[in-house]
Structure 1
Amino acid sequence: MLRHRWTPVVLVALALFVINVIGRVVVYVAGIDGDQQMFMASLYSMIAMVLVAGYAGFRWTRRYEMVRVVGEVGLAIILGSLLTTMVSPLFVGLNPFSGGASIYLRMLGVCFVLCAIGALVGSLIVLAVGQDRTGRAWKYQEQRLRAKPRRTAKR
């Protein structure tokens, strides 16, 4: 049972990683040299990663309590960010630490913050619409209370 609980977390982390690897390979194969083209390619890759994190936040918030959402989606984003910054440069022959520790930590921070914002927006959409577990439970209680006819007091 525990194995099935963490499988989606690993899949989201791998999806974030694969998106970044695909973006890096496309840039490498296309031979993009200009800073503007490199920036646009990495921007598209990051937008796709934010959308995946947003969908994960959306889906988890609909299904589970918020504590579990924060823990599992947060772990998926942390794993995805670490894989993105440490392993994906190796696919195109780059050293992740070539610019120094400060550059690496900045890249890790940017990746984590953008994916976290995406997951937060996905969760907030579910909360705003009232489709989270608590919102649905409150709606059910309201409907149940309104469906009962009022009892009159006997004298």
Structure 2
Amino acid sequence: MDKRWRGIGVLAAALFAVNVVARLIIHFGFEGDDTAADRVSLGMFVVIGLILAGVAVVWGRRRPLGAWEADTAAAVAIALLLTVLLGPLLVGDSPFAGGAGTFFAQIWLYLGATGVGTLIGYLVLTALGRDHRSQTLKRYAEAKAAKPRKVVRR
């Protein structure tokens, strides 16, 4: 159980760290430039999606979908709370400084990026036949084919 929570914590910390780096780049490098800030934010969402695609590939090979998806959802929820509530405080803003629309838009964008990243990773894994279920079915088929047929006399 401890190992499971460690994985969730590491993933949540990695997702939050990507957000912190993006916020610091925007704060120190592109303070008044909204176009550059939007590009950095887009890059942040792409990196978060790629991280979750990688996690889906690695965890999807070893464990059933229900187990690793719950862990991924928990890590995303923790990282989302940290990103939305604690992230703005690191650069001197309030979480609600941009208004309710900006606050909820950030939540929806974050959930969209994480959902798309996870989905792409799992679909690639499934298409290649490397996911846990495909491997289990492959081992079952090989075990059934390896046993000789029982001769029935009548």
* TM-score, structure 2 normalization: 0.90
Q: Check if 1:18 corresponds to 2:24.
A: no
Cα separation, 2, equivalents of 1:141 and 1:14:
38
- Whether the 8 Å CA contact 1:77–1:116 is kept in 2: the answer is no
Partner residue, 2:135: 136
Give yes or no for contact 2:30–2:37 (8 Å, CA) kept in 1.
no
| d(CA) in 1 for partners of 2:79, 2:86 | 10
Fraction of identical pairs, as percent: 27
How far, CA to CA, are the matches of 2:128 and 2:112 in structure 1?
24
How far does residue 9 in structure 1 lie from its aligned partner after superposition?
Answer: 0.7
SS in 2 for 1:87: helix
Structure-2 residue corresponding to 1:57: 56
List alignment gaps of at least 5 residues for structure 2. Answer: none
**1:69 maps to amino acid:** W
Mapping of residues 7-46 of structure 1, within 5 Å: 7-46=6-45
Runs of 4+ in 1 over 4 A off after TM superposition: 151-155
Question: In the TM superposition, what is the alpha-carbon distance from 1:101 to its structure 2 partner?
Answer: 2.4
TM-superposition CA deviations, 1:24-78 (whole Å, max 9, x none): 1112221442221111111111111111111122222111111112211111111
1:113 alignment counterpart: 112
Distance 1:114 1:32 in 2: 24
Q: 1:77 to 1:98 in 2, by over 3 A?
A: same
Q: Distance in 2 between matches of 1:115 and 1:31?
A: 25
Note the C-alpha offset of 1:146. 2.4
Higher mean C-alpha deviation, range 124-133 or range 143-152: 143-152
2:102 is aligned with what amino acid? Answer: I
SS of 1:71's partner is helix
CA RMSD of aligned residues (A): 1.7
Paired amino acid for 2:12 = A
Alignment-mate amino acid for residue 143 of structure 1:
E
Aligned to 2:145: 146
Q: Name whichever of 26-35 and 121-130 sits farther off.
A: 26-35
Unaligned runs of 5+ in 1: none
Distance 2:8 2:74 in 1: 7
Which residue matches 1:72? 71
Deviations 1:88-130 (A, max 9, x none): 1111111110122232112111101211211121112222222
Instruction: Indicate conservation of the 8 Å contact 1:57/1:123, yes or no.
Output: yes
- In 2, are the aligned partners of 1:54 and 1:120 still within 8 Å (CA)? yes
Instruction: Read off the aligned partner of 2:91 and give its amino acid letter.
Output: V
